[in-house]
A and B are shown apart, each in its own frame.
Chain A
């Protein structure tokens, strides 16, 4: 292990916030030594309750996360918050503004807030989020709130990592409820209608309750997602939400679902890391001058089709191709 990595994880376990922050950067940058430190940290993780918050931009996820964190802090619990915002696919840059909505938390050393750009590929983001969750878990946070924007693949990924997934919406979103029906419904353990002091809140609440009631497969003994009205800005409904989150965690434990979720999460983590490594190794091999660049030439000459090339490449990669830098 590099000296830097060893020092970092030792300091991290001793409660050094700068070390935790540094290690997160190393993970995000794919820096050397990060995975060694993660190996050591793994045995210290597995204690936190991971709560995902998703929903479209403007629904109030950041404010809600802030209020939830305050609720947990007043109960003496520690909190980690991961805010993921989109990275521009064109410039690679990102404006990360979630902290602006969490000002009441800043200055509290027991709340660790980290803003992440979604950066490159989807697979890479999954790996990075997972690693950051594990770092904050090993760092001793009781609750880890993960906030992602928009409805899409990343949110579906999120459910693999979160014990409890909260879908946040707001009144007057109209079409959004339709969008929610098309995939987010399946992942929501709790639905929140935020900004519930606005016109149309009752309507949105009723819509969601109807969806939950008619959700296919809602047989006896299964978890029935509660629908909660909040006004995050004022803190209304946040205590109720915290109660439901705790109730869901108890349900997971009592029903044995927690163990199943942990198994699924571990599998998903391994697969995400492995597919990233395999595709990196394959991309390197296919580059001009790479071990398998001849495959490309043969494909261009119509000698070989992509499926055949993939087979040959897979055979090649077995010969230690996975252990690249």
Chain B
């Protein structure tokens, strides 16, 4: 049996907007992945614990609150602490390119998908990365 791709879509921090992340979730589901959704307003600690229990391959962090530079490094640090740095971390939402560069360079984020991203690109990216 083939290994099923499991993705955890997360809403860290104080941000009440999940239309975008749910659309991404549908696209990933339709591409044959198992998508777990965290619900709104989660702490980094809770998200990392859940990611470990669910044994996901990918964490998708959706942040539109502007707090990405505080939340994302906290999450990737916790993943490292818990020995789960092998999980692929993707980010999306409103993240300026300069911040995205820092997150990718210094904080273990694989890729940032900004507004206007075609969901097919996200699907293709995940498939390619996990097959490699």
Selected contact of B38 from candidates A31, A99, A119, CB within 8 Å: A99
Q: What is the bound-complex CA distance between A22 and B83, given in angstroms?
A: 13
Question: Looking at the complex, which one of A21, A96, A107, A109 makes contact with B35 (CB distance below 8 Å)?
Answer: A96
Contact A91 B32, CB 8 Å, known A99-B39, A100-B39: yes
A24 to B4 CA separation, bound complex (whole angstroms)? 12
B29, A99: Cβ atoms under 8 Å?
Answer: no
Q: Assess the A107–B45 pair: CB atoms within 8 A.
A: yes
B interface footprint on A89-129 (CB within 8 Å = 1, 0 otherwise): 00111111101110100110100111101010000000000
Bound Cα distance from A119 to B2, whole angstroms: 12
Give the size category of A's interface with B: 20 to 34
Instruction: Determine whether B126 belongs to the interface, using a CB cutoff of 8 Å to chain A.
Output: no
The answer to whether B83 and A18 have CB atoms under 8 Å apart is yes
Instruction: Report if B117 contacts A (CB, 8 A).
Output: no
Q: Does B94 contact A (CB under 8 A)?
A: no
For A96, give the chain B residue with the smallest CB separation: B36
Q: Contacting A114 at CB < 8 Å: which of B3, B38, B53?
A: B53
Min CB gap B17→A, angstroms: 15
A93-B28, A106-B46 known; A18 and B52 CB under 8 Å? yes
Question: Which of B30, B37, B45 interacts with A91 by CB under 8 Å?
Answer: B30
Q: Which of under 10, 10 to 19, 20 to 34, or 35 or more describes the interface residues of B?
A: 20 to 34
| Chain B, range 1-34, C-beta contacts under 8 Å to A | 1-4, 6, 25-26, 28-34
Report if B99 contacts A (CB, 8 A). Answer: no
**Do A100 and B38 have beta carbons less than 8 Å apart?**
yes
With a CB–CB cut-off of 8 A, which chain A residues contact B119? none
> Does A93 contact B3, Cβ atoms closer than 8 Å?
no
- Cross-chain contact B39 with A95 (CB below 8 angstroms): no
Closest residue of chain A to B2 (Cβ to Cβ) is A29
Contact with A along B49-70 (1 / 0, CB 8 A): 1101111000000000000000
* 11 contacting pairs across A/B (C-beta < 8 A): A18-B55, A25-B6, A29-B2, A93-B29, A93-B31, A93-B35, A94-B29, A96-B36, A97-B37, A103-B46, A113-B54
